[in-house]
Amino acid sequence: MQQQKQPISIDLKQTTGIVCEECQNEVFVPGFFLRKVSKFLTGDSVDSLYPVQVMVCASCGHCNKEFLPLELQDHVDEPEA
13 φ/ψ angles, rounded to the nearest 5 degrees: -70, -20
pLDDT higher than threshold 80 for residue 76: no
Q: Which percentage of the chain shows pLDDT scores above 70?
A: 90
pLDDT, tens digit, 9 for 90 and up, residues 48-63:
999 999 999 999 999 9
Q: Would you say residue 6 has pLDDT above 90?
A: no
Provide the percentage of residues in the chain whose pLDDT is more than 90: 74
Considering the entire predicted model, what is its pTM? 0.72
